[in-house]
Amino acid sequence: MVKPDIYSLAKAGFSKEEIHKIAECKDIGRQIQMLRKCRYKLLDEIHGKQQSLDQIDYMISKMKECR
């Protein structure tokens, strides 16, 4: 059985509780499911940040046009 790398999980932004839950789980299928759930959550956050960046870029573009 491959144990999840605690350091990598912490570096990826997992909370202590999430790390403990994943590390203590003996079912690798369930571990993968937990990791995927966190991955999707992170991806949603990235998409949200991308939308914010797009809005800022749009504002900058419009402001440049007014110069």
Confidence check: pLDDT of 1 > 80: no
pTM, two decimals, is 0.74
For 8-26, write each residue's pLDDT tens digit: 999 998 999 999 999 999 9
Q: Mean pLDDT across the stretch 29-33?
A: 95
26-42 burial, b at 16+ Cβ within 10 Å, e below that, comes to: eeeeebeebbeebeeee
pLDDT band at 67 (very low <50, low <70, confident <90, very high): confident
For the chain, the domain total comes to 1
Classify residue 35: in a domain, yes or no. yes
Classify residue 42: in a domain, yes or no. yes
Confidence check: pLDDT of 63 > 70: yes
Confidence check: pLDDT of 65 > 90: yes
Classify residue 1: in a domain, yes or no. no
Domain of 48, in residue numbers: 6-65
